[in-house]
Amino acid sequence: MTEMQESVERIGLPEFLPGLLREQYGEQTAVRIIQGYGAKRKVTLRANTIKATAEEIDKALSEAGISYSKVPWYEDAFVIEEGDESRIRQLAVYEEGKIYLQSLSSMLPPLALGPRAGADILDMAAAPGGKTTQMAAMTGNKAHITACEMNSIRMERLRYNVEKQGASCVYLMQKDSRTLDDFFSFDQILLDAPCSGSGVLDLEDARLQTHFTRKLIDKSVKAQTALIKKAVNLLKKGQEMVYSTCSVLACENEMIVKSALSGGKVELVPLSAEVFPGLPVLPVKMAGTLCVAPDELYEGFFLAKLRKR
Ligand code: SAM
């Protein structure tokens, strides 16, 4: 039995996925990804600098006897060395919205976009709001962020998080972003697109086999294609956007970016993994895009940056 078959049998992945991964990445990297699904990921969080400084969070964690480490690329990120989220949820800093539980991978798109104070920013797929509130914090609550979310239940979660984090520069809009009027235009856009979640498969989820299907991938590709087209239309000339997913499949990532580039209205702004030391990157089919491997620190993730000509 190959290493791949052993991993697949042990963790019960949907049958078609190993073949897809092997086709895209080759045997060795496919095994790495599959093993990454099974890794027990550490709890990570972000200091909400609207309400607290990273030093204050350092202190609160130390006083609670919670050991943590830092990543070299983001001083507001904390990696909790032991224990689950429940321990963090009991802390006063959590209750007060001074921290936000967020995966490290999910912190990358706002950093790649670099939200600016005073800018009109569109977050096209915003709930539950990790990146919306991160962008608000990065601008000192001084941008004008329109956070769009289609699902009404998720919109309530977004509203709760935005309020709890004190992100008062965020304007919430419950809407299908694909139907936003082209009359609008934005200085910066984040499209953290709905996706199959192939970078973050939860192997303990009993519904994984029925939920993660080829149909889900096809549906995601269709939505992503329409969303990125809309993003390109809504972006002001000379301005930038970031496209991201928690998928490691090229059909949801590089191919979607390619579809946007083919219209000729945007160009790729190359991203470099060197800006994020320690990031476990996967080979990509389009130079200048970044794909992150799932492991004990990171979720599988993809991001690309585009500029409107
Ligand atoms: N950016 C979020 C964060 O950092 O917390 C995570 C976004 S999640 C990957 C994708 C979200 O997009 C889901 O909440 C989903 O309901 C929403 N969504 C999917 N299609 C949409 C659409 N056409 N317009 C607006 N929101 C959409």
Domain count, the chain: 3
How much distance in Å is there from the Cα of 59 to the middle of ligand 1? Answer: 34
Measured distance CA(216)–CA(69) in Å, rounded: 36
112 and 55, same structural domain? no
How much distance in Å is there from the Cα of 193 to the middle of ligand 1? Answer: 6
Coil, strand or helix at 149 = strand
pLDDT of residue 157: 98
Domain of residue 8: give its range: 3-37
230 and 128, same structural domain? yes
pLDDT tens-digit map of 184-210: 999 999 999 999 999 999 888 888 989
Burial class of 285 by CB neighbour count within 10 A (0 to 12, 13 to 18, 19+): middle
302 and 202, same structural domain? yes
* Full-model pTM: 0.97
Pocket test of ligand 1: the residue of 151, 170, 253 to mutate, having most ligand atoms within 8 Å of its CB, is: 151
**For ligand 1, is residue 110 a contact (CB within 6 Å)?**
no
How much distance in Å is there from the Cα of 241 to the middle of ligand 1? Answer: 16
Domain containing residue 89: CATH number: 3.30.70.1170
Distances from the Cα of 44 to the Cαs of 48, 100, 158, 218, in angstroms?
13, 9, 19, 31
Q: Which residues are registered as beta bridge partners of 121? A: 145, 188
**Is 1's pLDDT higher than 60?**
no
Q: Rounded to an integer, what is the distance from CA 68 to the centroid of its chain?
A: 22
**Is 289's pLDDT higher than 60?**
yes
**For ligand 1, is residue 129 a contact (CB within 6 Å)?**
yes
Is beta strand 290-292 parallel, antiparallel or unpaired with respect to 74-80? Answer: unpaired
Domain containing residue 231: CATH number: 3.40.50.150
**For ligand 1, is residue 177 a contact (CB within 6 Å)?**
yes
